[in-house]
Amino acid sequence: MHDLGYARLDTDRARRTGDPEVVYGAGKTPEQLVGILRTLHAAHPERAVLATRLSDEAMKAVQSEVPGAVLDLEARAATIGPLPEPAGTVAVVSAGTSDAPVAAEAALTARVYGAGVARVNDVGVAGLHRILAARADLDAADCLIVVAGMEGALPSVVGGLTGTPLVAVPTSVGYGASFGGIAALLGMLNSCAPGVTVVNIDNGFGAGVFAARVARNAR
């Protein structure tokens, strides 16, 4: 257990659960993030650490002051340390370009948690041909993450095409009566496709953790 003053770090947690260490960047200063990443990495240099929800300033600080850190600009995240061998496959499907950051966070998280990842971008429900064209990718995955804002209809359409376990991520993309993602969240909770599960609005991280756990354990 390390005590940095602004955070107590349980550096043995990863060993116990097999999951990587994760740092939730929102609300932390760049200096704090740099300190936490260095400490976690030094304690277990053989395992990955993931930092999410990084501000522009935090990404710059990590890049310049944490040697070995790898930034994912789309996901607004960083990793340090070797990623685990991928086991199983998570396919991350996203509707529009505005949903890309959440999809990227989900994809990176799934990868750091030990799954292989495939991305299927830009397949909104108003353009069915793109979804239909991606059908083989959907069937090949062990778990799907489907990311969409606005009306959140994509999980229903994808869920109707395949029997692969499907985690839906509503995003806050939209305006007016989208109410910051509530419309998409409700749409996904009420999906007519059986077997769709849902996470919190913009919670790419949670979807990635869940899907990786499913994929890692798949045949």
Kindly identify the residues of this chain, within the stretch 134-153, that bind a copy of itself according to CB under 8 A: 142-143, 150-153
Which residue in 23, 117, 185, 204 binds a copy of itself (CB under 8 A)?
A: 185
Q: How many residues in total does the chain contain?
A: 219
Which helix H or strand E contains 162, and what residues bound it? Answer: none
Query: Which DSSP letter does residue 206 get?
Result: H
Output 8 or 67, the one with its CB closest to a copy of itself: 8
The window from 40-48, 64-72, 77-85, 198-206 that contacts a copy of itself (CB under 8 A) reads: 198-206
Rounded CA gap, 95 and 97, in Å?
7
Output 68 or 139, the one with its CB closest to a copy of itself: 139
The answer to whether the CB of 168 falls within 8 A of the CB of 146 is: yes
The window from 35-43, 59-67, 77-85, 172-180 that contacts a copy of itself (CB under 8 A) reads: 172-180
Q: Does 191 bind a copy of itself (CB under 8 A)?
A: yes
Phi, psi angle pair for 217, to nearest 5°: -95, 5
Shortest Å, Cβ 67 to a copy of itself: 26
Which helix H or strand E contains 175, and what residues bound it? Answer: none
Pairing of strands 49-52, 77-80: antiparallel
Q: Does 202 bind a copy of itself (CB under 8 A)?
A: yes
Output 28 or 68, the one with its CB closest to a copy of itself: 28
Pick out residues in 73-112 that bind a copy of itself (CB under 8 A).
95-98
Token pair belonging to 132: 């239909």
